[in-house]
Amino acid sequence: MSQELSKEPQFDGVGYEPSPFSLSQFVAPKTDYDFTKYERGNQDKNKKILVVCTEERYMTMQNGKKFSTGNHPVETLVPMLHLKAAGFDADIYTPTGAPAIFEMWAMPSEDDAVKGIYEEYKAQLESPKSLQDFVSGNLESEVEYVAVFLPGGHGAMLGLPENNDLKKVLQWSIEKDIHVLAICHGPAAFLAAAHEESAEDFPFKGYQINSFPDAIDTQTPAIGYVPGEMPWFYGEKLQALGVEILNGDISGACHTDRKLVTGDSPMAANNFGKMSAEALLK
């Protein structure tokens, strides 16, 4: 039946959401979130996760058409479910404190757990904390951040890779030796650490990751997932900085390298969440 669905991206009045065919292939009504219990969960409510979301919606493709994107709800919320189950609440940040943008077309319509944590954090997503304020306050807060989480979605390529405040947060995370968690296109935000810096100083040089492959981003226009060719590819930029991307396809693969945890796609969200939670509890 999916073969009969249109492969034309759907106009939202400004840009384009994925085609009905694409949605039938890549957006499931329920996730594989498995409700893992963490017996020795974190009991210190002062320890939290700093989640960096995009505040930009539209990516301008090579043909000038705009792709309606943001952070992917499954890649954001399923890991947060695991982190919460392990005893870690989250603080949502965007570059300026403007609302976090989600790809609501990718919200799993029949997944009560995912929709539930979305409602729990909805007020924060609509009125998040500001990276700008956090950095201007000398990266000090009333809580102890034990990880920085960079969710996926093509929105991670908008604004974050050249954000100087995120650069300082990533440098701070390395200096403090805390975990960095990134899934799918989330590693695009690592590029902030190289913004206006020498490539030799890139803190993730020599790391291995799983992430969404550039090669698949070249294929998705054919099925109308995006309305045109990509404006640029984050993977080739990371590789030029010395990052090794382990996967050439998407299979749900996850990887831990030192205190960096990565996963390749929405298919990885459940295992990535578990790997992240377990890494923080060690």
Catalytically annotated residues: 184
The tokens for 127 are 């009125």
Q: How would you class 87 by CB atoms within 10 Å of its CB: exposed for 0-12, middle for 13-18, buried for 19 or more?
A: middle
**In angstroms, what CA-CA distances link 150 with 8, 77, 181, 192, 261?**
30, 12, 6, 12, 10
DSSP state of 32: -
d(CA 101, CA 55): 5
Please, are residues 168 and 132 in contact by the beta-carbon 8 Å criterion? no
d(CA 229, CA 164): 27
Helix axes 73-85, 112-126, angle to 10 degrees: 100
